[in-house]
Structure 1
Amino acid sequence: MATEAQVGAGEREYFNGAIRKVETDSSILVSSSKYLNSPELRALIAQEMLRRNGADLPNTAYIPEVVQILQNLEDMPRIMQLFEEEKARLPDFKAWLEGRNLANFTIEQVKDCKPGTLGALLHKFMVESGYELDIFYREVQVVNDFTFYLRQTALTHDIEHMITGFGPNHGGEVALLNANLHARSLYFHPELAAFFNRVQTYLKAKTIMKDGLHYPEAMVLNLEAEYRGAVQGRNWKVPLMVVDWRKYVDWQVEDIRKELNITPVIDDGIWDDTNKLVDEGHPEYLEAAE
């Protein structure tokens, strides 16, 4: 049945009137955007932004593929130039890169940490969940600033959940993602911030699109979580990606929050059940991470 909401000629002229056809001799799709020129990226973005969740495909499906495509499209000489420029401008960033203290904690290393410390939280997380902190770039060897950045930021995602109070659930993932987007954009040169935020920008786009199309209650939650994450992230002393977490392993979590100005922290458990808003009745196939 045809909808009564038909877009008319007047609207098309208003919005599309300035469109001009650009001729090319290319026999394939070609654009001024290197991202649009990637057929694999086009297909994955279209699928992951428009599909519903289902038992056959977890929310985390194809994140590795998208990450690899985006990395392959980067201007790495320019990125490394920005690394050097920002190291000269930002002492915390320089110390983080040159210290190379990977947060690759093991159960054995944190088993004796006192209650209430970051180490105790890490021990509980690794023992009770069975998950590892090492979730991405496992095969990357740290040989320079760039490879340290890749390994360390993959290792610290779950630590950020613990310290911010944004749990690993639908609301918490959205909040943490937005907190990082804002903190990095305030701290780094815009071009380097955009690089650090590239994958998160994709994750945010696909999540908000799916929620907006298919899950109305999740969309309302998404906006609340986005706001709360932005507020907290803009308060952080530095982006959490440049924190040396080994320095804080024996600190009380509340003291770490005060030190890094991680505030406000939401009530624990407020979003624990929010995965149910998008699980399509198949919670065993739904992973919190978008």
Structure 2
Amino acid sequence: MADDVPYLFRGVMPVETPSSVLVSSSKYLNNPRLREWLAMILLRRNGPDMPPPAEMYEFMGILDELRDYDRIEQMITDERKVNPEFDAWFAEGFHSTYTIEDFRQYDPGSLGGIFYTWITEGDYEIQITPWQEPKTQLEFYNLRAGQTHDFEHILTGGGFNFMGELVPYWYRLTNIFKHIKDPELAAELCTIYIFGSLRYTVRTILHYPQVWMTAVKCIEQGMKVGQASDALFMKKLEPAFHLPLEEARAALGVREAVFLDTHNEGMFWATDGKEQLLREAAE
């Protein structure tokens, strides 16, 4: 009888199939590589044998298997017909070829100067994926997303650490949906960010609850900036490199951004809590 079925389990309809393997209406659930990757990035503790950036490198190969590139290209083309700003951005097709040394010229408090300090002191590289001339609209979008990501940290207020990553992630997860008319296209453009952010949400609350509220604060800020700001992901940032940070934000239409210092929390997360344990032992 229906009354004997637990309330939360009501409505479940068993599906019969001759298949001997998992079959689902979701292409994501059907992919065994993605299922394994998700289990790893959601449930594991952090360790030096698998740095978080390597997780996303693996994910990009999985995403390639899942994407319908022809459909994405058509959605971009259709969006351009109804979204003049989006169309103008693609029509111009602007992308940069700068090097780290090009930023030495900028004053310390400018957008370019802050970037230069963070990049050189952190021993980062500007180009995290091999350079190639974009041949499709999606390739252009991905190229500019890679070129502007570090500046989005600065402009949205997210520090260059693993907790700080949540700020630009969630800025994009809201800002893109605000400025793209087709929600399906917006979702395709945000797939990387929603999967990437899962590492800093699920893993944090499971293993590093000491910094969970920092993660919440970063997500809140990213959403606030994304909802309040112009389409930053389509802006040409290069003309603002010389401007003081607040002037650069104003020129680019970035609003509600403040710097969140998450260095200690990011170190705690990255070192599996060992950094705090060592500090407490020293005291």
* TM-score of the pair, normalised by structure 2: 0.87
Q: Would you say the 8 A contact 1:104–1:133 is kept in 2?
A: no
Where does 1:189-228 land on structure 2 (aligned, <5 Å)?
A: 189-228=182-221
Q: Could you tell me how far apart the structure 2 residues matched to 1:123 and 1:228 are? A: 24
Q: Measure the CA separation in 1 of the matches of 2:252 and 2:239.
A: 13
Report if the CA contact (8 A) 1:166-1:172 is conserved: yes
**In structure 2, C-alpha distance between the alignment counterparts of 1:98 and 1:246, rounded to whole Å:** 18
Alpha-carbon RMSD across the aligned residues, in angstroms, is 2.2
Query: 2:241 corresponds to which residue?
Result: 249
- Match for 2:60: what amino acid? V
Give runs of aligned pairs for residues 4-43 of structure 1, distance below 5 A: 13-43=6-36
State the alpha-carbon separation in 2 of the partners of residues 11 and 253 from structure 1: 63
User: What residue number does 1:262 align with?
Assistant: 254
Shift of 1:116: 3.1
Code of the residue aligned with 1:151 in structure 2: it is L
| Residue 279 (structure 2) aligns with | none
Partner secondary structure for residue 62 of structure 1: helix
CA distance in 2, matches of 1:140, 1:24: 45
Q: Distance in 2 between matches of 1:190 and 1:252?
A: 35
Residue of structure 2 in register with 1:288 after alignment: none
May I ask how many residue pairs the two structures share in their alignment? 271
Q: 2:229: which partner in 1?
A: 236
Match of 2:267 among 273, 276, 279: 276
- The TM-score normalised by the length of structure 1 is 0.85
Q: What amino acid sits opposite 1:166 in the alignment?
A: G
Counterpart in the other structure of 2:173: 181
Letter aligned with residue 264 of structure 2: D
Q: Give the whole-Å Cα distance in 2 for the aligned partners of 1:273 and 1:62.
A: 22
Deviation, 1:250, is 2.9
| Pairing 1:116-135 to 2, within 5 Å after superposition | 116-135=109-128
Q: Residues 37 and 65 of structure 1: is their aligned pair in 2 closer, same or farther, counting only changes over 3 Å? A: same
1:157 to 149, 153, 162: 149
Cα shift at 1:247: 2.8
Contact 1:166–1:173 under 8 Å retained in 2: yes
Q: Which runs of 5+ in 1 are unaligned?
A: 1-9, 284-290
Aligned to 1:62: 55
Distance 1:220 1:116, change over 3 A: closer
Contact 2:73 2:136 in 1 (8 A): no
8 Å contact kept, 1:208–1:222: yes
Q: CA deviation at 1:48?
A: 0.9
2:160 aligns to what?
168
**Match of 2:65?**
72
Amino acid at match of 2:76: F
Shift of 1:37: 0.8
SS of the aligned residue for 1:172 comes to coil
Q: Report SS of the residue matched to 1:135.
A: coil
8 Å CA contact 1:111, 1:123 repeated in 2: yes
Q: For 1:157 and 1:135, locate their aligned partners in 2 and report how far apart those are by CA, in whole Å.
A: 11
The correspondence for 1:113, drawn from 88, 100, 106, is 106
Q: State how far apart, in whole Å, the 2-side matches of 1:257 and 1:69 are.
A: 35
Q: Could you tell me how far 1:259 is from its partner in structure 2?
A: 2.2
Q: Distance in 2 between matches of 1:12 and 1:258?
A: 58
Question: Within 2, Cα distance between the matches of 1:191 and 1:152?
Answer: 20
Find the aligned partners of 2:207 and 2:191 in 1 and give their Cα distance: 25
* Alpha-carbon separation, structure 2, partners of 1:174 and 1:271: 11
Give the Cα–Cα distance (whole angstroms) in 2 for the partners of residues 59 and 11 of structure 1: 46
Q: Per the alignment, in what secondary structure is the counterpart of residue 184 of structure 1?
A: helix
- Give me the whole-angstrom Cα distance separating, in 2, the residues matched to 1:129 and 1:11: 60
Cα gap change, 1:257 to 1:216, in 2 (>3 Å):
same
> C-alpha distance in 1, partners of 2:9/2:218?
34
Q: What are the superposed Cα offsets for residues 156-193 of structure 1, whole Å, 9 maximum, x if unpaired?
A: 11111122221112332112211110111111121111
